[in-house]
Amino acid sequence: MKYFGTDGFRGNANKDLSLYHAIKIGRFLGDYFNKNNNGKGKIVIGKDTRRSSYMFEDALSCGITSSGSDAYLLHVTTTPSVSYIVRSEDFDCGVMITASHNPYNDNGIKIINSNGEKIDDEFLEKLEAYIDSDIKDIDLKTGEDIGRTQDYIGGRNRYIAYLIQTVTKSFKGKKVGLDCANGAASSIVKSVYDALGAETYVINNKPNGFNINVDCGSTHIEVLQKFVKENKLDCGFAFDGDADRCIAIDENGDVMDGDVILYICGKYMKDEGALESNTVVTTIMSNIGLYKAFDKIGINYSKTAVGDKYVHLEMSEHGYELGGEQSGHIIFSKYANTGDGILTSLRLMEVMIDSKSTFSKLRRDLKIYPQMLKNIRVKDKKSVLSNSKIKNIIEKESENLKDSGRILVRESGTEPLIRVMAEAETKEIAEQSVDRVVKVIKEYGL
């Protein structure tokens, strides 16, 4: 793919991803679904809190309506809410304007199909071909054939109601910290937790267009760690810019990433008979400690490429109930077709309450191996990974670590980066292994 990576078309706003790209994407979507529906396709749009999201919302709406379809605006909302609305309310597709955990000056466009899933590569290839073509090959509609833009904030409220009704336990008496990352969760999560009876302590919920993900949220988890400890909370949940991921904090202020969440929820679901497949889907980035813990309690696991898109494909193909990424994208197939940070936090709360326990106790049998990750910015990701000297050092480090750890070198799906990750019995061993690989990449791969 030239534009669309594992998580949409993402880049610096009006440089890598411009107003004109958004108009063309809107024009293609509007024309495609207008023709497939014999007139008046229906496309719903959500956005996060970046300054540029408003510009892209207008551009997409302009493109969609000029091609004859109708655009429905959810306004500031989460990616999972767009997925829910598309699949539950008869829309042709959904568009989410977000760059997720990236800084405010970046933005992105995610396209979601009518089942609430990330749209397939075949469709994206056609869209990319149009982006690079002459815009005149789609006729502008005139008169009554021009589409409409409609306010659809009620859809966001229906998503809030849906989240609340998935919960069967009262959260009364629980003190919960919520870090909204000054992003999309700011418009939703407090209402959910208040309705469920929790005593909520909300931080970073005052977006101004520029402060999304700035020293807050799931990418700066130390902020919530400190907040939970200082306020003696039962737990905390941090979200990213579009709230499709969640990182949790236990009552001691310790971090619970996606691997810990998969372990706690997987074990609970198995004990409750809700993990009928007895399998949890992970990505290749999951910690080897998670697999060792699953082996001990008899849960099988599957590994996919990085990206909740691939996790979902594996889950849907085999009927698995639970899957996710270390980064906090967790999918519960009973409730959603994509990662949903708020939904994940609700499932964790139910486990804690139903178990009459604490998160620190629920995770105590899981040993996470120290992990070191470094990113190297490169010009050509493919050539780096095909370089013989780089391949040799990777093989050597893999042999050195053997069963006591591992080395993983992969290209980023969204940025011009090579990611080098090692796990080992100690942090020092992992760091040394990563540094040896990084040194060779810098010498032969830049």
Catalytic residues: 100
Cα–Cα dist 85/87, whole Å = 6
106 is in an annotated binding site: no
Q: Which residues pair with 419 in a beta bridge?
A: 375, 410
Q: Per the structure block, which two tokens stand in for 373?
A: 């990750």
Q: Where are the alpha helices (DSSP H) in 180-307?
A: 189-195, 222-230, 258-271, 288-297
As a whole number of angstroms, the longest Cα–Cα distance in the chain is 70
Nearest Cα neighbor of 63 from 40, 88, 31 is 31
CA angle 377, 437, 439 (to 5 degrees): 70
Q: Per the structure block, which two tokens stand in for 386?
A: 């095909």
Cα 344 to the center of its chain, rounded Å: 12
Q: Per the structure block, which two tokens stand in for 157?
A: 């409220």
Q: At what angle do helices 79-88 and 153-165 cross, to 10 degrees?
A: 90
194 is in an annotated binding site: no
Q: Which residues pair with 42 in a beta bridge?
A: 70
Q: Which residues pair with 303 in a beta bridge?
A: 282
7 is in an annotated binding site: no
242 is in an annotated binding site: yes
Query: In the sheet that 330-332 helps form, which strands lie side by side, from edge to edge?
Result: 300-304, 279-283, 322-324, 330-332
Query: In the sheet that 406-411 helps form, which strands lie side by side, from edge to edge?
Result: 371-377, 417-423, 406-411
Cα–Cα dist 5/69, whole Å = 26
**Which residue type is seen at 207?**
P
Cα–Cα dist 373/230, whole Å = 29
- Residue 120 CB contacts under 8 Å (≥ 6 apart), including other chains: 113
Please state the residue numbers annotated as binding site for Mg(2+). Answer: 100, 240, 242, 244
Please state the residue numbers annotated as binding site. Answer: 100, 240, 242, 244
